[in-house]
Amino acid sequence: MSIIRPYSQQAPPLSMAHPLPDIPPHSVSQLTPPQNLKISNPGPEPANHQAIVTPLKLIDHQNQTATAIVYCEANFGAIDGKTANGLVRHSEKYEIISVIDSKKSGLDTGMVLESKANGIPICHDLTDALIKAGYVPDYFIFGMAPSSGMLSTKERGLILEAIRLGMNIVNGLHEFLNDDQEFSAASIEMNVKIIDIRKPRMKRDLRMFNGSISEVDCPRIAVLGTDCAIGKRTTATILTRALNERGVKAVMVGTGQTGLIQGARYGVALDAIPSQFCAGELEATILEAYANEKPDVIIIEGQGALGHPAFSTSSFILRGSCPDGVVLQHAPGRAHRCDFEQMAIPSPSAEINLIQTFADTKVIGLTLNHENLTERAITEAITHYSDELGIPVTDPLTHPVEELVAMVLLAFPQLKERVVEQVE
């Protein structure tokens, strides 16, 4: 029986850029500064690698979705490539044109993630990506989330090249490029934006927790996990979409850089905020979503894991959101914690006990990440955990999404009325 691909979201393929009327082509030398910057690449070059000679179009994307190339060298489809993985699966803000990863060059991103082609190619380097696009896209997105949160020397050079080609930069790392004199000067010279997703507001503007979360009278559901990079954002996205499709107005509040890059309307990168303000910033963000959207339910994206000694964000999510319920994400096929081979991944029962001891909340269901599992193993895991824990269990990707919705409706039966109103 075949092994199922890494955890992913079944989303409609993203379309390529809409064809535009032909305009006079511009060569790369005309798109770069007078010194005619040579495009290099941090990865190895193939023997037949050549400089760009194909004419590139300068395209006016006014009134269109911004186009983007995502950089994910040697990590696409892997844990540290979760930002690129997430953008390929779901992006409201950007049209993803291609992904750069020399190790998987020539493959289709959809085939790598879910064995289903989506037309978004994986390119060897920036040169290859520009040739395939035929024009210079609007944005260059750094699509990796390394534990260090910092750029390598080669990556710095590549981002500077993208700037000098006229591309705006989206950076989700802890290293803020706008604070770097070299990047700042280059962006000013080329009149492009650098968006440091994780950069918090000024300290004088950060908000403290004040208990106003009690004014939110709709259910708040946090999607937490037994480990980091385990699919919490994907499950939260699927759940939010499925509820809305069934007439239950749901709003998702993002808590990490990937969700914000994808276009989450409400969110905050909690791991970049001083700990004193984390709970307050999340509380205030949830209040904004509640006041503006008047939702039936609010879904809060989780980060890390409460029992993981390397991360504290889950504790702030539980404190700041005071969730009425928790959906726990677990990967039965994962033997140890990400990046910590000496640490065994905890059992769902242990994490549930920890969550319900730490906060005044209840775990309403378990969702599974099916990495490294066969279809039969997934079914067996669902049966096993359902019997052991006495709560609903499903895999949102391999099982009908109705099971995930039913999990929420069982815990919050008042929401069933919203479904009935819309269906009838």
Do residues 267 and 251 touch, judged by C-beta distance below 8 A? no
- Rounded alpha-carbon distances, angstroms, from residue 288 to 205, 215, 258, 268, 337: 15, 12, 20, 12, 34
Do residues 347 and 375 touch, judged by C-beta distance below 8 A? no
For the record, the structure tokens of 365 come out as 């269901």
Query: What per-residue confidence (pLDDT) applies to 300?
Result: 98
pLDDT tens string 291-330: 999 999 999 999 999 999 998 999 999 999 999 999 999 9
Q: What are the residue boundaries of the structural domains of the chain, listed by start?
A: 28-196, 205-423
Query: What per-residue confidence (pLDDT) applies to 35?
Result: 36
Count of CB atoms situated within 10 Å of the CB of 33: 13
Do residues 195 and 173 touch, judged by C-beta distance below 8 A? no
Count of CB atoms situated within 10 Å of the CB of 178: 14
H or E segment to which residue 299 belongs: strand 297-301
Inform me whether the pLDDT recorded for 56 exceeds 80. no
pLDDT tens string 128-147: 999 999 999 999 999 997 76
Query: What average pLDDT does the structure give for the chain?
Result: 86
Inform me whether the pLDDT recorded for 423 exceeds 60. no
pLDDT tens string 354-373: 999 999 999 999 999 999 99
Inform me whether the pLDDT recorded for 21 exceeds 60. no
Dihedral sign computed on CA atoms, order 420, 264, 121, 230: negative
Strands (E), 74-202: 94-100, 122-123, 139-142, 168-171, 194-196
Query: What per-residue confidence (pLDDT) applies to 263?
Result: 86
Band the pLDDT of 82: cuts 50, 70, 90: confident
Dihedral angle computed from the Cα positions of residues 398, 1, 77 and 16, in that order, rounded to the nearest 10 degrees:
-70
User: Would 28-196 and 205-423 be classified into the same CATH topology?
Assistant: yes
Q: Could you tell me which residues come within 8 angstroms of residue 279 by beta carbon, excluding any fewer than 6 positions away? A: 209, 316, 319, 320
Residue showing tokens 């824990």: 389
Kindly report the CATH number that applies to the domain delimited by 205-423: 3.40.50.300
CATH superfamily membership of 28-196: NAD(P)-binding Rossmann-like Domain (3.40.50.720)
Query: What per-residue confidence (pLDDT) applies to 30?
Result: 33
Percent of the chain having pLDDT more than 70? 83
Strands (E), 130-287: 139-142, 168-171, 194-196, 220-225, 250-254, 266-267
Query: What per-residue confidence (pLDDT) applies to 264?
Result: 86
For the record, the structure tokens of 198 come out as 């994780």
- Rounded alpha-carbon distances, angstroms, from residue 345 to 1, 227, 358, 363, 372: 25, 7, 19, 18, 15
Query: What per-residue confidence (pLDDT) applies to 149?
Result: 66
pLDDT tens string 148-174: 667 999 999 999 999 999 999 999 998
Higher-confidence position of 21 and 7: 7
Nearest CA to 40 out of 127, 156, 104, 166 is that of: 127
Query: What is the value of pTM for the model shown?
Result: 0.78
Inform me whether the pLDDT recorded for 185 exceeds 60. yes
Rounded average pLDDT over 41-63: 41
CA–CA separation, 423 vs 214, rounded Å?
A: 31
Count of CB atoms situated within 10 Å of the CB of 262: 20
Inform me whether the pLDDT recorded for 18 exceeds 80. no
- Rounded alpha-carbon distances, angstroms, from residue 417 to 219, 296, 424: 14, 11, 11
Inform me whether the pLDDT recorded for 248 exceeds 60. yes
